[in-house]
Structure 1
């Protein structure tokens, strides 16, 4: 039997050394090394979408892979692709690292410098395990084998721009289209998803923070199945408990949710924490919500620059949603796109708070009238971002919502001029 092996190593010298030894293994078919965690997950996702049989039997993860740490990456691969045997390659092959690797889902540990005999033995063991799992899955076992659901994060440039409302409407639109959808409140100290949907529940995301093996039963106990069809994972009622959800916990939780739901919508609030930064990094779609005013656009620019410095997300990989827009607004989406270097969505959300006030005050945003121009815009956006199951009849465009790329002519004074002067600030 031929064993397909995919090495993942960010260090070019390490990648060459691993590839050289792999090429000497009998009946081995090594793939070209992938340089980072994102490429690895994308590659496995693409192969899994074709068939489980297209996945490599073994993935080798070098200790210096990035940007996701090696153990976190192993955990995510194990959760999303359980038929792949993952082996860690590390300069520290001691008991502590071995135990941590096994806890993360690895099937073996290879010490550095590489030795042919050890490499061959670990690869063979992982490949045999992978073949056994696939044989088991072939008999119809109810085990998740796909590339995982879609994760979309919604972050606000600053407080009060409509981040939570946007996240909730995206999730409601997806659920209405037939997708099994989870809505996660990762605004850990001030989350209001429960308030917007009139939900009170004793469990929260903080209850999952210290659990290393988030089984379907454990996840089910923490999630509230709402009558809207959404699975809700709420922020803790006690804001100080938000500190329990660190970057590692967030990666683990998002990975577990991705493996159980078709779509995971995460409200990241407005503050950058290790937890929501990890979520944005893992997201398939990262949405940033702003309003067309000077202060908010500058805040959006600061945030995307911070994401880039922290290697969380590139600006051009971020979708910008402009909320409270009108055709009379001096700052148009095209200018915001130019200043922030993000991708402005085609559909801006109109300024029509009077439509929302009653349902927001009642905590029943799921009851918003279908004729609402705000709801129509947000549900259209959900389709534009690929969050719905299949193309459906497009919601009527909000009144006056034209193409953001065709901005109205504006004066060279006032807010626009102030933003232009501050572009490099």
Structure 2
């Protein structure tokens, strides 16, 4: 099966086998491929496999340490598709490896064309496997009123989840603010495509089309951008949209969705489908009241309060200045999940540069607060 993929793959082999893969276009169409020269029994740095979907790993059957390395990787990354690279592959050994969960065996020295085909097949097979049952967690971020910083929050949440994700399928951020979405600009990327053709595809949507539309970011996650032109917000086919989100869940560990500030039937359907909802409010009593109205709306569509994380943005260290924690609790009728520090000047500077604050000011209070919120979300997602 031939298609251009944006899935991340890693090739680990002795340096003598790597040269053939490093020429331009050697693994064309395989998306992001990290090539690491290592001895057949050398330990692999932990960060190397983070977010990877396919691993091509040299194994020397004559070395117990090489076989043990393979065994450890299989135990620690059960969702990772592993292609074993062997110099001398006999039938009995290949059968043993396949029984142990290896998806394919590559011949050393590498043939770039053959290896590219094997990587693409592994990516496709992995997607079909997870589609049958294992779906990633769907988060959505909504705002109590316009200008609460929902887009700022969700882009930074995606970065933290991508950096700390222990799974092998990565993180995807989807911009469904069809009339005002500018997540691509926030991240400083030029999108290859947008969500529009994916939603319109309906029953024709498949993994190939999804992969062709996502854009990789330098922050370790993929993004599906909003349409460049303003589209009627009420013309979205809800079933097609939900099918697209389910496809994304079959391909990623986490899917984050940024919704428009106005409510439609399809946006409410997304909230109903979400595993966790982050509701962001400003610190004023008026905005908190609007947040409470959103919570009532969620109750009316049978979304329990337990699935909603209320976060107060633009907060000050002195318990929101004149507004105390008790005021927030009384207004919302419950506890809040966290707060986000007010650092508008730093955020504006970073956004003007198409960068995240975690890159320009990694020790800022806002970045610390986002990291705490991401840890809470990930923990609750793991317990679902």
TM-score, normalized by the shorter chain, greater than 0.5:
yes
8 Å Cα contact 1:155/1:267 also seen in 2: yes
- Any gaps of 5 or more consecutive residues in structure 1? 1-137, 391-425
The reply to whether residue 156 of structure 1 matches residue 143 of structure 2 is: yes
8 Å Cα contact 1:181/1:262 also seen in 2: yes
Change (3 A) 1:195 1:257: same
- Which residue pairs with 1:261 in the alignment? 252
**Distance in 1 separating the partners of 2:244 and 2:325:** 34
- Which residue pairs with 1:208 in the alignment? 198
- Any gaps of 5 or more consecutive residues in structure 2? 1-100, 104-124
Instruction: State the Cα deviation string for residues 340-360 of structure 1 (Å, max 9, x = none).
Output: 235411x31112222222102
8 Å Cα contact 2:192/2:214 also seen in 1: no
* 1:352 pairs with one of 343, 351, 357: 343
* 1:292 pairs with one of 283, 287, 306: 283
Change (3 A) 1:309 1:153: same
Please give the secondary structure, in 1, of the residue aligned with 2:139: strand
Once the two structures are superposed, the pairs formed by residues 4-403 of structure 1 within 5 Å of their partners are: 142=126, 143-144=129-130, 145-178=132-165, 179=167, 180-211=170-201, 212-240=203-231, 242-311=233-302, 313-326=303-316, 327=318, 328-341=320-333, 343-345=335-337, 347-365=338-356, 367-386=359-378
Change (3 A) 1:183 1:342: farther
- Which residue pairs with 1:77 in the alignment? none
Deviation at 1:161, TM superposition (A): 0.7
Aligned residue pairs total 253
Change (3 A) 1:214 1:387: farther
8 Å Cα contact 1:316/1:343 also seen in 2: no
**Distance in 1 separating the partners of 2:381 and 2:296:** 33
**Distance in 2 separating the partners of 1:380 and 1:280:** 23
TM-score (normalised: structure 2): 0.61
Please give the secondary structure, in 2, of the residue aligned with 1:348: strand
TM-score (normalised: structure 1): 0.55
4+ aligned runs moved over 6 Å, structure 1: 387-390
- Which residue pairs with 2:119 in the alignment? none
